[in-house]
Amino acid sequence: MKPILSIIIPTKNRYTYLESCLKAISFNYNRPDVEIIITDNSSIKKNIKSLSLFSNIHYSYSAEPISQVENFENAMSKVSGEYVTMIGDDDGLSSTLLEVTYFLKSKNKQALIAPFVSYYWPDIISNNIINQFSGKIFHKKYNYKIYDISVKNEIDKSLKLGGGSLCRLPRMYYGIIRKDILDKVKNESGSFFPGPSPDMANAFSAASYTETLTFFDAPLFIAGNSAHSAAGIGLAGKHIGKIKGNPMLPKDCHLNWTAQVPKFWSGPTIWAESLLKSAVLTGKTEYIEKFNYARLYANCFVFHSIFSKEVNEAIKQNMFVSSYFWLRLAIKVEIFKIILLRLKYFCKNISKRFTSYNSVNYSNISDIEIASSLINKYEELILRKLNSYVSQ
């Protein structure tokens, strides 16, 4: 039986999280219409006890150190499902994702995204003075509406933000997307992930080939934030450094880096580089002209001022602007916007300490198994809404 859904879980040196992740999904996803694909690039291979819980799992181990993109590519090469989703080894899934996938197929939809639940493992360390994240779950209050959204609008939003956000782009990471869309990306660019950051590279490139994108306002994905994840490193203020020699990036990344993107590793720069590389490799060069470089530079100045030299070097290399005066002015405007946005979020976080308006929080959650069990209490609401839309 050909699976309708392939669940990809790349992993490296994080067996504790992986064991919990597999236990959490074993009850609902050990079935013939689902395949679980794990590509392990850990330094030392260890026994994974939870593998025995599955009869539909494809596990492979690679001892040679490779980049994130290479590990993710290895996983995609093994996919046989009609739809694909991908999670990290510290993430979780709603028990209803398979039913959601069947819904997409019945409506001939190509992709779906949903707002993810944020879970912070107990080992997380944060510099945030407002919230102590460790062992907590945060999520919004959902309305469970299902509706189509414009892919073009989401592409334009991401470009306007200088690649600083995935917005609501179609993607396999915390999303579901049909495999034939991903094959088009591969055939055109030579990679399922045509950029150094797999999430942005896949999302932006896939958007160019996606015509129908569905949004479901329901808790379908649990984004796990552990101490060794990108999010965890970011919360600790350590998601920054040099491009060359970074084990998470392709080995030749520093040689092929876009001159107009500041040459250092950070959230804003790696996503911008991935977006631009995706545009070039998929032949969508018109997006480069729409890319908001001022926002990228503003993000770098605000959040990573120690790399101001690299930012200024990139500004000098920018041939996509007619006037450096207007570019500098645009950067100042974008910095002002970012400061206002940060003030807004600061006030919002303050208010969360005194009210539960439009948010739900849980504390003392020890692992993704328990986090998943809490989220799965929404299963009945999700299935009821799916059934109502199927009958329409």
Segment 14-30, tens digit of pLDDT: 999 999 999 999 999 99
Q: How many CB atoms lie within 10 A of CB 387?
A: 11
Q: Tell me how far apart the alpha carbons of residues 37 and 57 are, in angstroms, rounded to a whole number.
A: 6
Place of tokens 């996509």: 320
Provide the strand spans (E) within the chain. 5-11, 34-40, 57-61, 83-86, 92-93, 111-113, 117-120, 137-140, 146-149, 175-178, 213-216, 221-225, 359-362
Predicted pLDDT at 345: 77
Cα–Cα distance measured from residue 99 to residue 386, given in angstroms and rounded to the nearest whole number = 8
Residue 57: closest CA among 11, 98, 2, 7: 7
Nearest to 222 by CA among 136, 132, 105, 349: 136
pLDDT digits (tens, 9 = 90+) for 144-193: 999 999 999 999 999 999 999 999 999 999 999 999 999 999 999 999 99
CA distance 307 to 305: 5
| Percent of the chain clearing pLDDT 90 (strictly above) | 77
**What's the pLDDT tens digit per position in 322-346?**
677 888 899 999 999 999 998 987 7
pTM, rounded to two decimals: 0.92
